[in-house]
Structure 1
Amino acid sequence: MGGDIYGEPIRYDPDFHGPLKNRSCTDVICLFIFIVFVGCWAGIGIYAFVNGDPDKLLIPRDSEGSRCGFDAHVRDKNYLFFFDLTKCATPSVAFTGCNTTQVCVDACPTTSYYYTGGPVDDLICVDGVRNSTDNAETLITEGKCARWALRSTSVLKRCLYKTEDRRALRSQRVASVPGDEISLAKRYLEITRSWVSLFVQYFVSFFSDSYDAEKVGYDIVNDIVNSWKEILLGVAICIVGSIIYIFILRWVAAILVWLSILGAIAALSFGVYWAYSQYRYYKDNPTAYLDATNWFQELIMRSGTWMGLLIAFSILLAILLLVVIFLRKRIVLAIALIKEGSKAVGATTAALFFPIVPWILQLGVIAYVLAVAIYISTVGNPSYEVRNFNSTECTSSTCNSNTVQNGDTCDRDTFKSICDQPCPAQCKFIQISNSFTIYLHIFNGVGLFWGVFFISALCEMILAATFATWYWTFKKSDVPFFTVTTATLRTLRYHLGTLAFGSLIITICRIIRVTLEYIDHKLKKYDNPVTRAIMCCLKCFFWCLENFLRFINRNAYIMCAIHGKNFCISAKDAFSLLMRNILRVFVLDKITDFIFFLSKIAIVVGVSATVYSIVAYVSQTEITYIFVPVVFVAVCAYFICTVFFMVYTMAIDTLFLCFLEDCERNDGSPEKPYFMSKGLMQVLNKKNK
């Protein structure tokens, strides 16, 4: 029945000896569409670079939208001063701006002050520097003058704090402030070492008060800078360790797999016991949750929570035991394929480092997208609108309700002379207006997804062709030295259309997901449970669909790399072959995912422990928090392991499809010998006669 539903097994072909050399171009129409798309994308980039002007975004603007150094009334004031720069220390500042008053000044402050009363020489206000102090407190309270200012330097014409005098300024300012204002002075006069620390402080602030967050953020950035040698050493150890681990996995794969399975069984058994004991305890003490101090404690002090965990642990334990009992032969096959994957990677070492090339290409695509987005955003002319117009206060002949209304367009160079003080009307910058730039941004966004997915697909097909060549070489010692180079040239010459087709499918699915996220964000203000349920189901469905399509695409690329057929035929053949061996597919996929996860964790823990030992007992570097370089290295190590094991995963997926085809195509006779290794033949009780 399986043959009728999912096609007939692959027949023996005496002319087949691995990836075909003589093949034709596939999915030419899709390649043509992709070339046209890239041409239009390049045209948009040229148009943006010619007509855009990033200076429009870089020129500082005050709170009223005036361009410092450009608009007529602030032409002699080239720099932007922030009343409270600490309010810019949030990741959303790039989209929402700093929530503090900003004014154009002729020079950044060269001295520091904190106003507590009495005379002051340089009080920075919205209309310049005031020397009068008669109403200084009132002006500060109304937000028209800054209570404090620090000696600053110009960065892109923005006045930012100078960090070398941080501690001296802090101690000097705090000493001059009355006791009841010391905490406020500490908060405002604590200077960060760099803008990076502002973002660190933002996240630390969730776990501590404002002043502690600023101090911790500064110390964390200091620790990273001071321990850069240890961090680089940890990264190097991770790279070397990953390579060695992959090479020796052929000998320790069986031990690691069975130890992992036994460990998982032991952990789940303990989880069942612990959940049951906690369930009995809280069932006998039903009011224990009343002593909880937060929602999480209340949750874990209820018997229903532990009943749910007991059921979940029991189901997982039962599934794992059934898999071990009834699918142990498939597990042995998965172990053998993991060993084969290690041999294949070891025989084609260049493939291990090949992902660096597409990674650089993807960074190039992202950089191009960002540059085009910035230039597109500056195509057009800035638009201004009248804001804060009050007809009772603006009664001059040139500025009254008959000539000016809120929302009217205005000109910055002439509006001040028409509606000057005491009229409170403002000609405020709204946006750089251009009716069609939104479509260019959308096109550029599609280019980002399609370009990144196309490069990822290119990497997968080249690796698939490399490992397929290794498998279908009868004598493994005869594998060509330039296998990766040959696979790259063959893919670029014949199969760019197939890659464009497969990556376009993923791009469309990702665009739908992004659109759903945008719609969900817009619908949150309605707080409708029915809408939330529908959106949750849609997002879950398209997430599952994208992952399924990625699985199909990867196997389609493998079949295309071997047989040279177009995307649809390759996807159909791969899907049919996998479905005819669904149990093997399931076990192999889960076993390899589990082993690779454990391998990543093992490498990350080992590297982190090594860095900790170096920082704690060997290095003389002075740092505040010893965990900072350790955590930083752990994050880097995980990403490095992901890159290396991506190659290993592709090797196993390719070898698995080749193995399934080998089993169907050949029977071990002299005319149709198996191409699989002796280890695989022993697992399956097969041999070449």
Structure 2
Amino acid sequence: FKGPIQKRKKTLLFYFNIMKCASPMVLLEFQCPTTQLCVEKCPEKFMTLVKAYANKKDFDYYKNFCKEGVTNTMVKILRLGLCPSMLMPSKPFTRRCFPALGQKGGVITVGNISRFDDGSGNMRDAKDLMDGVKNATVVIEARQVVMKIFEDYTHSWYWILIGLVIAMVTSLLFIILLRFLAGIMVWIMIVLVILVIGYGIFHCYMEFASLKGEAGSNVTLQDLGFQTDFSVYLQIRQTWLAFMIILAIVEVVIILLLIFLRKRLLIAVALIKEASRAIGHVMCSLFFPLFTFVLLAIVIAYWAVTAVYPFQVTVTVLLLKVDCSQKTQQPQDFTSSPMQTQCPDSQCLFAFYGGETVYHKYLIGLQFYNVFLFFWCANFVIGLGQMTLAGAFASYYWAFVKPDDMPAFPVFSSLGRSLRYHTGSLAFGSLILSIVQIIRVLLEYLDHKLKGAQNKFAKFLLCCLKCCFWCLEKFIKFLNRNAYIMVAIYGKNFCTSARDAFFLLMRNMIRVAILDKVTDFLLFLGKLLIVGLVGVFAFFFFSGRVKAFEDTAPNLHYYWVPIMTVVVGSYLIAHGFFSVYAMCVDTLFLCFCEDLERNDGSAARPYYMSSTLHEILLFFLQNWKRAKLILSFRFTGVLNINCEA
């Protein structure tokens, strides 16, 4: 305030030295390392501090762009950095003062001159300002996008929560319907997935057709480049054409898979029915992923705090000097440094983390160690959840009289057994997986460090290693999952269980491909259906395409922000519910294979499987033996049928 009532209207931001923004580090830190001041209007003429100080009228004008507390002592002004070293003609842009750059006779000018005194006696070309202006503009645009996204979240967070609650209710309702109407729900799910994707193709085509003839709609994405206003992309025909092609490919792939797997779908549906019965007897298993989520949140929070802590010990600052060379120095040494007397206008500003301390040489290694421990703890928590669910569902399968022979609380009983007897197996399995994952992180680190290398063979070798370890990680995850199931069933150690699970799966490789993976595909379609339904609803609500929601929907800068948040959140919620189904199917499948090898269905060794799974067994064995006989006849020309067959 200027006086008791009159308010000073300082609505523009002025940079003391815009050329400081020319550093590439500005784009990483999103901060120009120069003093920034709020002013009423931008400077309109060239003026240096030294020349303005000699004239009282000019200095009074100059003080409008200085900090408060400016005195008539030149030494104090320089030492405290109260004023910029120079002013140049500027124009407001996005509420910032930028040099009024122009072009005169093919030469870049500021105002009407191409060279100027930078305040320290050096003559600079106007083109030197270009990089600083460009970087500052990028930082401003990025900050504006982030602020708009943040504002969108503040205006729509409760609607996003409502969308996620709808996704949770839809997933839970879908699971409950699967419990009682598994066969019907699977076919309804397949039809709805095809219809939802088909509607997406139709909507993209209508948008593509409606933009025909519109001005600027034929611009290509390559010519458009990156735009901070993402709604611009929706006004281009090529965007909707790309969406339509992607959805059409997904639709064709799903239809072809359903055609080729039409006979196997009946077997998978029966397996899902059995999984629904198991979940019906262990309903609390649907909410067990919440326990795993809480443990993972604790692990992530602890890792984040541990990762940031070493940086608090090794802070380094950069001493920026207007007329002196830049030099790094510890913050505690700045006040006693002789540099202050040698360069009075020096400032103590943040530069980077690190520094020549006792921790610096070990910092990278400590961070890799911290990441390794994070992988180990996270894999341990995930393995604990898998083993707990596997033990609960295995108790259902191996109960001869269901559910009378089951424990009273299957999930809690299985969790207690896992924590009491099998923590060593969980730790060892997660350790193997974590070693492979940290090797992948090291390979990515090397790839980043060697990005500028010109050796083609080294790049090829590194790419091959990354691919191999990616495949190895997927294999170990698959093996660990099945090993935990065997540990939950028999209580043996990890290595023995992993060996038994591997050879059991190898002996039943065809069943794995036909039963287990087809069931996983159907469960994936269920997740896709829930995400598609909630995503379509969120699109029509937040975009205002439906007149009934025009007054209810919030006013947003980017309506895709809440839509993408709801879609991603819906997928995570649906994945949490369906992961219980997937674990149930995998456990029942392994128990099914083990039951086939241990028992023969006689009175002495009866099957533990239910009548539904027994029907699957008969159907599968009849078709498999028929296929073996046909193959034997084709390769040998002789149809040999033994007594057992």
What TM-score results when the alignment is normalised by the length of structure 1? 0.60
Distance 1:212 1:519, change over 3 A: closer
Q: Is residue 256 from structure 1 mapped to residue 189 from structure 2 by the alignment?
A: no
Equivalents in 2 of 1:662, 1:92: separation in Å? 63
The one-letter code of the counterpart of 2:497 is: S
* Structure 2 match to 1:415: 337
Q: Is residue 224 from structure 1 mapped to residue 150 from structure 2 by the alignment?
A: no
Equivalenced residue count is 497
Deviates more, 1:371-380 or 1:535-544: 371-380
* Structure 2 match to 1:114: 42
Equivalents in 2 of 1:513, 1:613: separation in Å? 41
Q: Is residue 353 from structure 1 mapped to residue 287 from structure 2 by the alignment?
A: yes
Query: In 1, are the aligned partners of 2:391 and 2:414 still within 8 Å (CA)?
Result: yes
* Structure 1 match to 2:513: 586
* Structure 1 match to 2:384: 458
Equivalents in 2 of 1:231, 1:321: separation in Å? 34
* Structure 1 match to 2:3: none
Query: Could you list the per-position Cα deviations for residues 53-90 of structure 1 after superposition, in whole angstroms to 9, with x for gaps in the alignment?
Result: xxxxxxxxxxxxxxxxxxxxxxxxxxxx98699x99xx
Q: Is residue 123 from structure 1 mapped to residue 65 from structure 2 by the alignment?
A: yes
The one-letter code of the counterpart of 2:310 is: I
Distance apart, 1:559 and its partner CA? 0.2
Unpaired segments ≥5 residues, structure 1: 1-80, 150-168, 185-204, 272-290, 302-308, 395-404
* Structure 2 match to 1:556: 483
Distance 1:566 1:144, change over 3 A: farther
Matches within 5 A, 1:674-685: 674-685=607-618
Distance apart, 1:518 and its partner CA? 0.4
| Structure 2 counterpart SS, 1:475 | coil
Structure scoring higher RCO (CA < 8 A, sep ≥ 6) equals 1
Distance apart, 1:660 and its partner CA? 0.8
The one-letter code of the counterpart of 2:552 is: Q
Distance apart, 1:372 and its partner CA? 2.0
Distance apart, 1:530 and its partner CA? 2.3
| Structure 1 counterpart SS, 2:407 | coil
The one-letter code of the counterpart of 1:503 is: S
| Structure 2 counterpart SS, 1:462 | helix
Q: Is residue 236 from structure 1 mapped to residue 160 from structure 2 by the alignment?
A: no
Equivalents in 2 of 1:424, 1:502: separation in Å? 56
Equivalents in 2 of 1:577, 1:254: separation in Å? 32
Distance 1:262 1:366, change over 3 A: closer
| Structure 1 counterpart SS, 2:600 | coil
Distance apart, 1:246 and its partner CA? 1.8
Q: Is residue 100 from structure 1 mapped to residue 26 from structure 2 by the alignment?
A: no
The one-letter code of the counterpart of 1:434 is: V
Matches within 5 A, 1:307-318: none
Equivalents in 2 of 1:244, 1:321: separation in Å? 25
Matches within 5 A, 1:138-157: none
Distance 1:130 1:552, change over 3 A: farther
| Structure 2 counterpart SS, 1:672 | coil
Counterpart pick for 2:369 among 443, 447, 451: 443
Equivalents in 2 of 1:262, 1:429: separation in Å? 55
Distance 1:221 1:259, change over 3 A: closer
* Structure 1 match to 2:399: 473
Equivalents in 1 of 2:28, 2:145: separation in Å? 25
Equivalents in 1 of 2:328, 2:39: separation in Å? 40
Query: In 1, are the aligned partners of 2:177 and 2:185 still within 8 Å (CA)?
Result: no
Query: In 2, are the aligned partners of 1:600 and 1:641 still within 8 Å (CA)?
Result: yes
Equivalents in 2 of 1:638, 1:518: separation in Å? 30
Equivalents in 2 of 1:567, 1:322: separation in Å? 40
Distance 1:383 1:170, change over 3 A: closer
Measured on the aligned residues, the alpha-carbon RMSD in Å equals 5.2
Distance 1:526 1:128, change over 3 A: farther
* Structure 1 match to 2:498: 571
| Structure 1 counterpart SS, 2:618 | coil
Equivalents in 1 of 2:561, 2:345: separation in Å? 54
The one-letter code of the counterpart of 1:461 is: M
Q: Is residue 524 from structure 1 mapped to residue 432 from structure 2 by the alignment?
A: no
Query: In 2, are the aligned partners of 1:122 and 1:131 still within 8 Å (CA)?
Result: no
Distance 1:236 1:517, change over 3 A: same
* Structure 2 match to 1:538: 465
Query: In 1, are the aligned partners of 2:167 and 2:573 still within 8 Å (CA)?
Result: yes
Q: Is residue 487 from structure 1 mapped to residue 414 from structure 2 by the alignment?
A: yes
Equivalents in 1 of 2:516, 2:493: separation in Å? 25
What TM-score results when the alignment is normalised by the length of structure 2? 0.64
The one-letter code of the counterpart of 1:609 is: V
| Structure 1 counterpart SS, 2:336 | helix
Query: In 2, are the aligned partners of 1:463 and 1:651 still within 8 Å (CA)?
Result: yes
The one-letter code of the counterpart of 1:97 is: E
Query: In 2, are the aligned partners of 1:560 and 1:566 still within 8 Å (CA)?
Result: yes
The one-letter code of the counterpart of 2:42 is: Y
| Structure 1 counterpart SS, 2:440 | helix
Equivalents in 2 of 1:320, 1:608: separation in Å? 24
Matches within 5 A, 1:361-440: 361-379=295-313, 411-416=333-338, 420-421=342-343, 431-432=354-355, 433-435=357-359, 437-438=362-363, 439-440=365-366
Unpaired segments ≥5 residues, structure 2: 1-13, 46-57, 104-109, 111-133, 202-217, 225-237, 239-245, 621-645
The one-letter code of the counterpart of 2:306 is: V
Query: In 2, are the aligned partners of 1:120 and 1:131 still within 8 Å (CA)?
Result: no
Equivalents in 2 of 1:572, 1:551: separation in Å? 13
Matches within 5 A, 1:229-308: 229-250=158-179, 251-253=181-183, 256=186, 260=190
Deviates more, 1:225-234 or 1:499-508: 225-234
Query: Could you list the per-position Cα deviations for residues 175-233 of structure 1 after superposition, in whole angstroms to 9, with x for gaps in the alignment?
Result: 9999999xx9xxxxxxxxxxxxxxxxxxxx9xx99988766654443333222232221
